[in-house]
Amino acid sequence: MKTFPDLTQQLYNLILNPATRVWERQQLVKAKSSLNKRSATEVWSQLEYQLRPLAVRNNLTPDVADFYALLKHDEPAGKKFDLTIHQATDPAWQERAIFAGGCFWCLVEPFETRPGIKAVIAGYTGGVTTKPTYEQVSSQKTGHVEAVEIIYDKRLVNYQNLLELYWQLIDPTDATGQINDRGNNYRPVIFVRNQRQQQVAEASKLALINSQKFSKPIVVPIETATKFWPAENYHQQFYRKHPQRYHLIAQARQNYLRVLKFSGKIKQLFNKK
């Protein structure tokens, strides 16, 4: 469990955080004012009680949700994700791939658990706003999509391997979202970082089109990668922090994709006949 001084500093940071909603900030300011009048235990308990209705509905802003997890003594949920590898320069044997395909929660675990993957970071890209927040991206006014940056060891896995897995995780016939995630911020996109990735991605997409596995056209665009902004800590490795909720979301997505693939097989069968 975090010590009270750690919680106090985080409280101050959240009050100053522009992403904190007005009502959330009001509760945090009240708690801050009470720290000099009541015991810390009472203050944290009262704040947890005030935030609970939104927390149980998963409606707190990401950083406040992390803070709430610590108030509940759920350290795994509030654990800080190390972004050092994202910020560092890649050695010669390391490369990055950026894919968008609906909610980024469901793209992290399938890639991160594969051999050769050093890190998978949830984030935002493709838009114009600097340091976008989850709420800004969700408003669909910044041009960003939810995406993942995959940092991998080229000696153990290659870009083609990643593309093959990517196609299995999305509905490539849906240009305006993915499954239950609707809107431009959930559109599928392959973001390429160099000419070689461009060539491999185009060949991979053409191979999928020629396979005729889907009854509708393949509509995933291939775009030049722009600045990738890591998402809030709450969204990093969501499958580990919130396994039950992740399982329900991932299972629904997998069921949809199974039906989609079955429809494609039926089409292939009729085409052969």
Residue 98's SS3 state is strand
* CB 193 within 8 Å of CB 152: no
Name the percent of the chain in helix, strand, coil, to the closest 5: 50, 15, 35
Active site residues: 103
Distance CA 36, CA 87 (A): 39
Q: On the CB side of 257, how many CA atoms lie within 13 Å of its CA?
A: 17
**What's at 112, amino acid-wise?**
E
Instruction: Note whether 173 and 219 are within 8 A (CB).
Output: yes
CA distances from 40 to 37, 223, 251, 267 (A): 9, 51, 41, 64
Crossing angle for the helix pair 243-272 and 105-112, to the nearest 10 degrees: 80
Contacts of 232 (CB under 8 A, 6+ apart): 19, 62, 63, 66, 133, 134
